[in-house]
Structure 1
Amino acid sequence: MGSIEVGTASWTDKTLLASGWYPASADTPEKRLAYYAEQFPVVEVDSTYYGPPAEQTTRLWAQRTPGGFTFNIKAFSMLTGHPTKVSAIYKDLRPETDKKNVYPGDMPPQSYEEVWSRFLAALDPLAEAGKLGAVLFQFPPWFGIRKSNKEYLLEVAARCKPLRPVFEFRNASWFEGANQNETLDFLRAHGLAFVGVDMPQGHKSSIPPVMAATSDLAVVRFHGHSDKWTSKDIHEKFGYEYSDEELRSWAPRLRELASSATRTQVFMNNCYSDYAQRNATTLIDLIREG
């Protein structure tokens, strides 16, 4: 069985800071990151979806964590085809428009290419320190299974090389009927890493909890089962605490997944209060029991 690393999708959420999970002595961003890194071997950075990181920031992350610690970085929204706030784009690359949100097609081609270059370059300090795990590309609900989208997955992999992209879908067409095998076979054929999810079902963005290793790296993200999944309030959307029984049922599935991969990463994305941190700790214990 390959290694299993469990962490969370945030260490800076305001509700986490207010929960009391951090000791009083962890009273600065530097100390909080150091404390988090003592508890977990990996973290996912979600903030980079909303705005690309600065190289100075990623260098500090590398400096403030111990050897062997890993950061996964969520790709900037512009790179996954999501609507992106003009104010989130690099100042000198912002298109002249009255729109608040833009898509890749609204950007001049050279500016779009520069967004890619700057985003990936900002990750260099983590890569050089051996602390960059993967770059998460979470696609929007309208990114369904079709030839052009498969080609885009290959384009992303080529752009990111030698960095490792991992792919999360939010459109059920990738898994309907025979499409599930087609999707997983395509990813395996090209050595692309699939991100399995646990999430509320019955919504336009719902994906079944398929667990599969399509490369040497397997990734699973736990989004919770909030009955307010469609809320625009992210704390309502992700404010779900897994029970011990739920996590216990997942432990053998994660061990089985890890038997098909060299490395398996698991992220609790139910980031409200200290739900994710406590659930991650419980899950670690349950996996070790097995």
Structure 2
Amino acid sequence: MSSNENPIQIGVCGWGDHDLYPPGTQAKEKLAIYAGHFPVVEVDSTFYAIAPVERMERWVDDTPESFRFVVKAYRELTGHGRLEKAPVRPWQELVENMLASLAPMRRADKLEAVLFQFPPWYDCSQKHVKYIRRVREAFRDVPVAVEFRNQSWFRPEFRDKTLQFLEQEKCIHVICDEPQAGEGSVPLVLATTHPAQALVRFHGRNVAGWNNTGQPNWRDVRYAYRYSEAELEEWVSHVRQLEQQVRRVTLLFNNNSQGDAVDSAKMMMRLLDIEFEGLAPRQLDIF
């Protein structure tokens, strides 16, 4: 690990909608400003559409050498199905398009992981295990992180087998801080399955809003949560534990429905007493 890489990375999910930018900042300018605050970001737009290579190249160019991206896998590769009006493409074509999209980040050594977030109905079953193996083979040269949203993977009879499976397939187990809201949520499983990386995603703890899928704004409600200092203080010992097991720990905050993710991330930095190396230069105000 070079001197300007951070053994603990903290960032947020997406960079467009946070309270980091001066009024009037254009969308194309935001990533460069974001990279002055955090060393890593999750790219969530790739869940809805595979990004063109030119866009990925621009993001690479807009960030410092040590900056890292966690890229969400396209939804048709994670069992979420095809969006209305999206073109019908064979599975192998989707894989090839996704790999081509990732190429600029891989060349620049800025791809931290590809996040395969499986849906709440994706239970622990033979067909789903088989599919994850298929994904791993298709993306064999890429760091693959797996996030489950179905409790069955971590029931007592399956928990150890799930972790062993991820370890055998050289997948990164995504550790989740999220509401405990029934079958469509997973418990905190503080376990690593890959020596290179631990990835933690903070979704908030809004139990009431987590499963309220009948409302038109349920996605906004689901991630509406402001972590208290006491709640994040619990994570200091967890992060120190993970730090002993892997080369790098990445913490990503997804509690941004009401703009709380940046504040949570910066509070976590303070609690861990972290100052990041290799950030982009901050724009200084004259007055």
Task: Specify the TM-score bucket, using the shorter chain as the normaliser.
Answer: 0.7 to 0.9
Partner of 2:254: 269
Which 10-residue stretch deviates more, 226-235 or 264-273? 226-235
Structure 2 distance, partners of 1:230, 1:36, is 31
Instruction: Quote how far apart the aligned CAs of 1:148 are.
Output: 2.5
Structure 1 distance, partners of 2:170, 2:76, is 24
Partner of 1:29: 27
Partner of 1:84: 82
Instruction: Quote how far apart the aligned CAs of 1:131 are.
Output: 1.0
Instruction: Quote how far apart the aligned CAs of 1:29 are.
Output: 2.4
The question of 1:256 aligning with 2:256 is answered: no
Mapping of 1:235-250 within 5 angstroms?
Answer: 235-250=220-235
Structure 2 distance, partners of 1:190, 1:160, is 11
Instruction: Quote how far apart the aligned CAs of 1:190 are.
Output: 2.7
Partner of 1:165: 144
| Partner secondary structure for residue 255 of structure 1 | helix
Structure 2 distance, partners of 1:147, 1:258, is 33
Instruction: Quote how far apart the aligned CAs of 1:248 are.
Output: 0.7
| Partner secondary structure for residue 73 of structure 1 | strand
Instruction: Quote how far apart the aligned CAs of 1:22 are.
Output: 1.7
Which 10-residue stretch deviates more, 41-50 or 149-158? 149-158
Tell whether the 8 Å contact from 1:21 to 1:274 is kept in structure 2 after alignment: no
Structure 2 distance, partners of 1:122, 1:43, is 17
Partner of 1:56: 54
Instruction: Quote how far apart the aligned CAs of 1:21 are.
Output: 3.0
Structure 2 distance, partners of 1:288, 1:269, is 21
| Partner secondary structure for residue 273 of structure 2 | helix
> Could you tell me the percent identity over the aligned residues?
35
Gaps of 5+ in 2: 1-5, 275-287
| Partner secondary structure for residue 86 of structure 1 | coil
Tell whether the 8 Å contact from 1:252 to 1:287 is kept in structure 2 after alignment: no
Partner of 1:6: 10
1:135 to 98, 108, 114: 114
Runs (4+) off by over 3 Å: none
Deviations 1:22-70 (A, max 9, x none): 233x712232111111110100011111111111111110011111000
Aligned length: 263
Structure 1 distance, partners of 2:122, 2:39, is 32
| Partner secondary structure for residue 123 of structure 1 | helix
Tell whether the 8 Å contact from 2:184 to 2:211 is kept in structure 1 after alignment: no
Tell whether the 8 Å contact from 2:118 to 2:148 is kept in structure 1 after alignment: yes
Deviations 1:83-115 (A, max 9, x none): 22133x3xxxx24xxxxxxxxxxx6xxx22111
The question of 1:222 aligning with 2:202 is answered: yes
Which 10-residue stretch deviates more, 169-178 or 225-234? 225-234
Partner of 1:104: none
Which 10-residue stretch deviates more, 33-42 or 144-153? 144-153
Structure 1 distance, partners of 2:105, 2:167, is 27
The question of 1:198 aligning with 2:148 is answered: no
The question of 1:116 aligning with 2:68 is answered: no
Instruction: Quote how far apart the aligned CAs of 1:273 are.
Output: 3.9
Structure 2 distance, partners of 1:204, 1:12, is 31
Instruction: Quote how far apart the aligned CAs of 1:262 are.
Output: 1.1
Tell whether the 8 Å contact from 1:269 to 1:276 is kept in structure 2 after alignment: yes
The question of 1:178 aligning with 2:182 is answered: no
1:46 to 44, 54, 57: 44
Partner of 2:104: 125
| Partner secondary structure for residue 36 of structure 2 | helix
RMSD: 1.7
Tell whether the 8 Å contact from 1:30 to 1:64 is kept in structure 2 after alignment: no
Which 10-residue stretch deviates more, 36-45 or 176-185? 176-185
What amino acid is the match of 1:230? N
Which 10-residue stretch deviates more, 52-61 or 270-279? 270-279
Structure 1 distance, partners of 2:187, 2:159, is 10
Instruction: Quote how far apart the aligned CAs of 1:191 are.
Output: 2.0
What amino acid is the match of 2:209? K
| Partner secondary structure for residue 113 of structure 1 | helix
